[in-house]
Amino acid sequence: MHGKRVLVTGGAGFIGSHLCERLLDAGHEVLCLDNYYTGSRRNVAHLLDNPDFELLRHDVTFPLFVEVDEIYNLACPASPIHYQHDPVQTTKTSVHGAINMLGLAKRRRAKIFQASTSEVYGDPTVHPQPEEYWGNVNPIGIRSCYDEGKRCAETLFFDYHRQHKLRIKVARIFNTYGPRMHPNDGRVVSNFIVQALKGQDITLYGDGDQTRSFCYVDDLVEGFLRLMGTDDDVTGPINLGNPGEFTIKALAERVITLTGSSSKLVYKPLPSDDPRQRQPNIDKARALLDWEPTVHLEAGLTKTIAYFDALLAEGAVA
């Protein structure tokens, strides 16, 4: 694994920036690509002086010609607020982006990793969700640009693998949180923390009894690296997430406690197609990667709260 030239698309994003750090620490050269739609130079500013790090502004919907050994394809807005803002572009990013990165991998004979999502399971009728479950997805709803875009990207990855013998790795990411989350991405962890730190009411959608499983970003990136390091016959898809399940209401109450906030809970109608349950079955990750999350929710939330507290102190959050 040492000394490879690695491309990370979406590398200035929340997860991508943490991945770039880990790759540099492992002795690789990293080409970080981002169009800054949801990513930020701020997330990788501390890496700019590293001679093994290069930052390139580029949109994956356009072809790219670079010399690389491995590709991590993370480029795509991942929160409903951002991916629903321009749904056509979201689909293009997932589908055209996959085609362009797979084309680059084919030309370079590079190993390529796809950051897929638990959203491919839609509003699941099977719980927890194993990789064999085909999902329950609305193909024409407001979330479809992301859900179906990611499903199509998986299709492309496996067709390139079968047709062109490309070395692929596909991970399905479940809810992930940690420092460098976008403060206005509309996700529950960032929403709740910012609202609590500001002393505002915390907004719950529906009755707050819908469940999610929250994985700290360091654990997720470790799963990425372990999957990329497996033999070529391990293609995935493999679920990466924390199987510990919490209600949204319980998460809000935990954030209030950890921030010492006086915020109150308020309830609003549940958005269209919002899944009621989301929990990964990680048996494959345990067996094939010897991986499971190690950071407990309270420890991860404490670090994430400190990050957002610093942003608010700097006036970096509206």
CA angle at residue 220 from 215 to 224, to 5 degrees? 160
Which of 26, 25, 43 lies closest to 34, judged by CA? 43
The answer to whether residue 267 is catalytic is no
Residue with tokens 């109450």: 253
Helix (H, G, I), strand (E, B) or coil at 67: coil
The active-site residue out of 37, 146, 177, 216 is 146
Length of the chain (residues): 318
Which of 33, 30, 46 lies closest to 179, judged by CA? 46
d(CA 271, CA 269): 6
**Tokens read off for 208:** 């707050």
Residue type, 295: V
d(CA 11, CA 304): 19
Alpha carbon dihedral 113, 20, 84, 96, in 10-degree steps, equals -40
Alpha carbon dihedral 14, 15, 17, 19, in 10-degree steps, equals 170
Where b means 16+ CB within 10 Å and e means fewer, 304-318 reads bbebbeebeeeeebe
Neighbours of 188 (CB within 10 A): 21
**Tokens read off for 228:** 């990329």
**Tokens read off for 263:** 């915020």
Neighbours of 232 (CB within 10 A): 12
Question: How many distinct helices (H) and strands (E) make up the chain?
Answer: 9, 13
* Active site positions, annotated: 146
